[in-house]
């Protein structure tokens, strides 16, 4: 079983914000894989799909970003899930809008959702897709920026990065992550 976690914040007020691109990516995957039902469990919303004969679980933590690790830990403990089968999708200030970066380990880089996952799993080693949201203009508050909606001029870049994320997530299911990284980290 593979499991894909998209990070974001619950509630309609956060729905279209930069910090919720992980949820946006999971929604696209759910649509593509015909996931019709999301169940509330493991402190999140959980959907299941069958992709090319393999079970894939999609998880949106409903704990708010800074507590995302609680949802992962609850799922891991119940299913005895392996971190090698995990893919986490989240926003990244240091990656340009319209781009994605894949990594299999590393520090949280100031991202509170990743910090929580590392705290609750005890490791920095897990597969990740970082969706670029670019940095705000100098002097702009980071928290306000990540909780702001994308502008109309950013729509094309957002869609480009989300589509790349969907394709990379599908490749993650079929091939070693190192190969997927080499394909998308350009």
For the chain, domains (ranges, CATH) are 2-184 (3.40.50.1470)
pLDDT value at position 139? 93
77-90 pLDDT, tens digit per residue, is 999 999 999 999 99
DSSP helix/strand/coil, 79: helix
- Residue 66 assigned to a binding site: yes
Please tell me which residue in 19, 79, 111, 120 is annotated as part of the active site.
19
Report in angstroms the alpha-carbon separations of 30 from 53, 114, 117.
16, 22, 22
Q: What is the pLDDT of residues 93-108, one digit of tens each?
A: 999 999 999 999 999 9
Q: Work out the pLDDT band at 19, boundaries 50, 70, 90.
A: very high
How many secondary structure helices (H) and strands (E) does the chain include? 6, 7
Query: Is 64 annotated as contributing to ligand binding?
Result: yes
Using the predicted structure, report yes or no on whether residue 186 has a pLDDT greater than 90.
Answer: no
pLDDT digits (tens, 9 = 90+) for 118-149: 999 999 999 999 999 999 999 999 999 999 99
Q: Is 170 in contact with 30 (CB distance < 8 Å)?
A: no
Q: Which residues sit opposite 87 in a β-bridge? A: 4, 127
Q: What is the pLDDT of residues 25-63, one digit of tens each?
A: 999 999 999 999 999 999 999 999 999 889 999 999 999
Residue 104 marked ligand-binding: no
To the query of whether residue 19 is one of the catalytic residues in this protein, the response is: yes
d(C-alpha 111, C-alpha 172), whole Å = 23
Residue 125: the pLDDT is 97
Share of the chain above pLDDT 90, in %: 97
Q: What is the mean pLDDT of residues 2-18?
A: 97
Q: Which long-range contacts (CB under 8 A, 24 or more apart) does 161-164 make?
A: 161/21, 161/97, 161/98, 161/99, 161/100, 161/131, 161/132, 162/21, 162/24, 162/25, 162/28, 162/131, 163/28, 164/99, 164/100
49: left (phi over 0), alpha (psi -120 to 50) or beta: beta
pLDDT at 34: 96
Angstrom distance (rounded) from CA 122 to CA 21: 25
141 assigned binding-site residue: no
Dihedral, CA atoms, 147, 152, 157, 160, nearest 10 degrees? Answer: 100
């Amino acid at each position: 079983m593979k499991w894909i976690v998209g990070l974001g914040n619950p509630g309609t007020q956060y729905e279209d914000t930069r910090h919720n691109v992980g949820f946006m990516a999971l929604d696209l995957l759910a649509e593509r894989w015909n996931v019709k039902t999301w169940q509330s469990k493991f402190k999140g919303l959980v959907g299941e799909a069958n992709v090319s004969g393999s079970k894939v679980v999609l998880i949106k933590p409903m704990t708010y970003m800074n507590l995302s690790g609680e949802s992962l830990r609850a799922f891991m403990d119940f299913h005895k899930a392996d971190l090698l089968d995990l893919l986490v999708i989240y926003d990244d200030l240091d990656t340009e809008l319209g781009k994605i970066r894949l990594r299999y380990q590393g520090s949280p880089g100031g991202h509170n959702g990743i910090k929580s996952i590392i705290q609750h799993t005890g490791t920095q080693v897990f597969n990740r897709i970082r969706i670029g949201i670019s940095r705000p203009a100098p002097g702009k508050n980071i928290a306000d920026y990540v909780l702001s909606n994308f502008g109309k001029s950013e729509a094309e870049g957002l869609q480009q990065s989300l589509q790349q994320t969907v394709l990379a997530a599908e490749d993650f299911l079929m091939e070693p992550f190192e190969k997927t990284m080499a394909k998308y980290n350009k």
